[in-house]
Structure 1
Amino acid sequence: MTPSPAERIRLAERLDGVAPLLLVSDLDELRRLIAAPQRLPPTSSAPTPEATDDTLLIDSARSTARSRDREVNLTRLEHDLLACLTAEPIRVWSYAELHRSVWRDEGLRRRSDVQSLVKRLRRKLTELGTGVTIDAVRGVGFRLTDHRQPRIGGS
């Protein structure tokens, strides 16, 4: 059985700093990665990913978010929150789940931490000019939403 993205994130968090880690969904994905031709960058620094449309790109190595010709720097917390929300973009993440993923603790009584971080990250996403934002789901938590995409169904 293939582990869910949330299970992969939990595994990566547990192994963080222990050794280099490559998470793949199945053996076929690993084979494709191994068989893919490897291209090394001409310098020691990693190349900046290019966005050709309104795609939101997260550069974990540089801790930035980019869309078209705009780029914003992200703090570690902002990066971790955005990475968490993009792992399962339609999912509604509870305050407790976000606190565990971003701060790596329970934080059940510290909703203000999450709300403050979401506010700062929303501002940066708006600065990028994408239709991607973080929507609050009353009484539950937050989810990543792309307002450029038409919604399917009623809600």
Structure 2
Amino acid sequence: MGAAVAEDLFPLLIAVTPSPAERIRLAELLDGVAPLLLVADFDELRKLIGAPQHRTAAPSARAPVAVAAAVDDTLLIDSVRSTARCGDRQVDLTRLEHDLLTCLTTEPIRVWSYAELHRSVWHDERLQRRADVQSLVKRLRRKLAELGTGVTIDAVRGVGLRLTHHRRPRVGGA
């Protein structure tokens, strides 16, 4: 029966933000997309998933901490520490990498144009250089791969980029 449970894992979106208004906005935005878990902080998330309790710094007011992944390889973005974590692996993120990943996770089913991503990450309406975004995406893809999560950034030909989760094949156990 344990093997059947592992095969039946489902995609789950988790959003961690201290703002009740942001949790409501995310619930409305993601209604019907996938199961959604909304929590105020990492301590609450740890309690829900049965992980050991650790004190964390206060959440950043910059942006909600967001998660997009499957239950077995959840990607956590810590805005306070500017890190991404999956299981016991962690990578540091530059400000630009953090802002791009956070932007993509705020609307995980949306395809973002290069111009929209440039404005969101660099906060510059005049410059919209595609090469800047492509270079940043390349570095971020490498870091996501280091974490061992199935979450990556996919190009949608002629449109832009989106965050997606590619399930890894299961090895062993029936």
TM normalised by structure 1 equals: 0.64
Provide the C-alpha distance between the structure 2 equivalents of 1:107 and 1:133, rounded to a whole number of angstroms.
28
Look up the equivalent residue of 2:164 and give its one-letter code. Answer: T
SS in 1 for 2:73: coil
Amino acid corresponding to residue 98 of structure 1 in structure 2: L
Cα distance, 1:70 vs. partner?
Answer: 0.3
Aligned with 2:115 (options 96, 99, 109): 96
Does the residue aligned with 2:101 lie in a helix, a strand or coil? helix
Q: Per residue, is there more strand in 1 or in 2? A: 2
Percentage of pairs with the same residue = 73
Return the match for 1:115 from 134, 137, 151: 134
The correspondence for 1:24, drawn from 21, 27, 37, is 21
Following TM superposition, by how much is the alpha carbon of 1:139 offset from its aligned partner in structure 2, in angstroms? 1.8
Name segments (4+ residues, structure 1) moved above 6 Å. Answer: none
Aligned-partner residue type, residue 102 of structure 1: V
Structure 2 match to 1:132: 151
Q: Which residue of 164, 170, 174 maps to 1:145?
A: 164
In the alignment, the residues of structure 2 paired with residue 134 and residue 88 of structure 1 have an alpha-carbon distance, to the nearest angstrom, of 13
In the alignment of these two chains, the number of paired residues is 117
**Alpha-carbon shift at residue 138 of structure 1 (Å):** 1.3
Question: Could you say which residue in structure 1 is the equivalent of 2:66?
Answer: none
CA distance in structure 2 between the aligned counterparts of 1:130 and 1:22, rounded to whole angstroms = 27
**What's the counterpart of residue 14 of structure 1?**
none
Cα distance, 1:53 vs structure 2: 3.4
The CA deviation at 1:78 is 0.1
CA RMSD of aligned residues (A): 3.2
- CA gap of 1:42–1:68, structure 2 versus 1, over 3 A, is closer
SS in 2 for 1:53: helix
**Does the 8 Å CA contact 2:114/2:128 hold for their aligned counterparts?**
no
Matched, 1:77 2:88: no
Return the alpha-carbon distance in structure 2 between the equivalents of residues 42 and 100 of structure 1. Answer: 35
Note closer, same or farther for the CA distance 1:78–1:148 as it changes in structure 2 (3 Å cut).
same
In 2, Cα distance between equivalents of 1:103 and 1:23: 27
Structure 1 residue 60: deviation in Å? 0.4
